[in-house]
Amino acid sequence: LPTLDDIDVSGKKVLLRVDFNSPVGDNEELLDDSRIRAHVPTIKELLERGAAVVVVSHQGRPGESDFITLEPHAAKLSALLGQSVQFVEDVMGPEARRRIKNLKPGEVLLLDNVRFLAEENINAPPEVQEKTYLVRRLAKLFDYYVNDAFATAHRSQPSIVGFPMVLPSVMGRLMQKEVEALSKIFNPKVSPKVFVLGGGKVPDSLSIIENIVENKVADRILTTGLLSELFLVAKGIDLGESNMKFLEKKGILSLVPKARKLLLSGAPIDVPLDFVTVDEEGNVKVEPAYNVTGLIRDIGPATIRSYSELIKEAKVVVMRGPAGVMEDPRFRKGTKELVRAALESGAFTIFGGGHLTAVIEELGMKDRVGHISTGGGALLAFLSGKELPALKALEISARKFGLIKG
């Protein structure tokens, strides 16, 4: 796929899709800036090479508490770039278009949350997305489209797949780095490959597991967190009233048939042996997975031991999502010990998501990391062998506009 090396951006107007989607606190403050930081090299390079850069990103999903304006992101980006970043409370309306038209080389303008537009929240093929108002209104103001949003590469939304249909398009430096590092996993000679999966977004994780299993990407999938609770229930284990209620409330119980089908197909999925739980009085206990009474907060010591053994044998370890409620120091151990096992294993390690980065830093073992990805769902989609809509669209674009041969 073409990169920034394949285009001359001097004096040109560039639309840059990034993924600034960050955890947000109660007062709409950003709790972590690593995703914004990760795009700085691309933005700097474009500015230094004389482009006028218009940045577009989403933040959260409609209806969720982190669905906010990008104003705080603009302030953060200004600080990281050491240069003022313009911000407009608009995406494709007259004011946004006026500001885009007036932007000069070397200047950067951040548009507001692109998911404020209904169109952006619908997934559809590129040929549909190129006809959205977003693409029709904005594309004509630009010379190039650069996609640096690896973490959103699994979405077929207009700002990801629509623009490449109508503008010459390339990968940004972050996208390039992610794709290069992660492609290493497809080397069939390097095995065993162990995936350690936890964290939220259980429905997404489950469909990814289906792909991983189908494409035989992983030799072993070690589950933690809510995902592991789902598989335990699918095995017929009752996790006690409080956990079952919680799973029901989150809509996770409806996924049990799917999870059961995977287990019956012989998928190499492991579940925890024990958990750290907390009861109604606030007592913290270790309980076996088949006899849980309290609310599950972390994996237990027997699970840490057995998972660590498997991780130590691996040649590639992919880890995504915390193993417990690690914001609370009492429930941090599972995540921390699994990260430590991965880093001590000598395997090529790929980590996804902000939670794990914090733990790696805490352990002071950053120099042993193979790759830390900015992707969550996108990371798993890529690693499961699924074609990412963002990359597919860049490929179509490159052929259409003659940036690659063939």
- The residue to which tokens 């899709």 are assigned: 17
Q: Does 303 bind ligand 3PG (CB under 6 A)?
A: no
Tokens of 210: 């289906």
Residue 301: how many other CB atoms lie within 10 Å = 14
Report whether 99 belongs to an annotated binding site: no
Report whether 21 belongs to an annotated binding site: yes
Pick between residue 63 and residue 282 the one whose CB is nearest to ligand 3PG: 63
The residue within the footprint of ligand 3PG, chosen from 113, 129, 147, 152 (CB under 6 A), is 152
Stretch that binds ligand 3PG, among 40-48, 76-84, 138-146, 151-159 (CB under 6 A): 151-159
Check the CA dihedral 227-201-361-313 and report its sign.
Answer: positive
Closest among 75, 85, 81, 80 to 54, alpha carbons compared: 85
Tokens of 108: 């950067």
Count Cβ atoms within 10 A of the Cβ of residue 179 and give its class: 0-12 exposed, 13-18 middle, 19 or more buried: middle
| Distance in Å, CB of 348 to ligand 3PG, minimum | 23
- CA 330/CA 344 separation, integer angstroms: 23
Strand ranges, E, within 179-335: 193-197, 220-223, 269-270, 274-278, 284-288, 295-299, 316-320
Q: Does 174 bind ligand 3PG (CB under 6 A)?
A: no
The residue within the footprint of ligand 3PG, chosen from 4, 13, 15, 21 (CB under 6 A), is 21
Tokens of 188: 């069939």
Pick between residue 19 and residue 112 the one whose CB is nearest to ligand 3PG: 19
Report whether 73 belongs to an annotated binding site: no
Q: Does 155 bind ligand 3PG (CB under 6 A)?
A: yes
Query: What CA dihedral angle connects 47, 48, 50 and 51, to 10 degrees?
Result: -20
Q: Does 198 bind ligand 3PG (CB under 6 A)?
A: no
Closest among 116, 110, 121, 134 to 67, alpha carbons compared: 116
Pick between residue 20 and residue 275 the one whose CB is nearest to ligand 3PG: 20
DSSP 117: S
Q: Does 22 bind ligand 3PG (CB under 6 A)?
A: no
Please, what is the angle between helix 333-344 and helix 301-312, to 10°?
Answer: 20
Pick between residue 19 and residue 274 the one whose CB is nearest to ligand 3PG: 19
Q: Does 389 bind ligand 3PG (CB under 6 A)?
A: no
| Distance in Å, CB of 203 to ligand 3PG, minimum | 11
- CA 375/CA 388 separation, integer angstroms: 12
Stretch that binds ligand 3PG, among 83-91, 147-155, 267-275, 283-291 (CB under 6 A): 147-155
- CA 166/CA 161 separation, integer angstroms: 10
- CA 357/CA 372 separation, integer angstroms: 7
Q: Does 120 bind ligand 3PG (CB under 6 A)?
A: no
Pick between residue 61 and residue 366 the one whose CB is nearest to ligand 3PG: 61
Q: Does 68 bind ligand 3PG (CB under 6 A)?
A: no
Query: What CA dihedral angle connects 355, 356, 357 and 359, to 10 degrees?
Result: 100
Q: Does 330 bind ligand 3PG (CB under 6 A)?
A: no
The answer to whether the CB of 57 falls within 8 A of the CB of 87 is: no
Pick between residue 122 and residue 263 the one whose CB is nearest to ligand 3PG: 122
Pick between residue 113 and residue 224 the one whose CB is nearest to ligand 3PG: 113
Count Cβ atoms within 10 A of the Cβ of residue 161 and give its class: 0-12 exposed, 13-18 middle, 19 or more buried: buried
Q: Does 199 bind ligand 3PG (CB under 6 A)?
A: no
The residue within the footprint of ligand 3PG, chosen from 159, 376, 393, 395 (CB under 6 A), is 376
The residue within the footprint of ligand 3PG, chosen from 14, 19, 134, 135 (CB under 6 A), is 19
Report whether 154 belongs to an annotated binding site: no
| Distance in Å, CB of 353 to ligand 3PG, minimum | 8
Stretch that binds ligand 3PG, among 149-157, 273-281, 322-330, 390-398 (CB under 6 A): 149-157
Q: Give the annotated binding-site residues for (2R)-3-phosphoglycerate.
A: 35, 115, 155
Q: Give the annotated binding-site residues for substrate.
A: 19-21, 35, 58-61, 115, 155
**Which residues contribute to the site for ligand 3PG (CB under 6 A)?**
19, 21, 61, 151-152, 155, 376-377
Q: Give the annotated binding-site residues.
A: 19-21, 35, 58-61, 115, 155, 327, 353-356
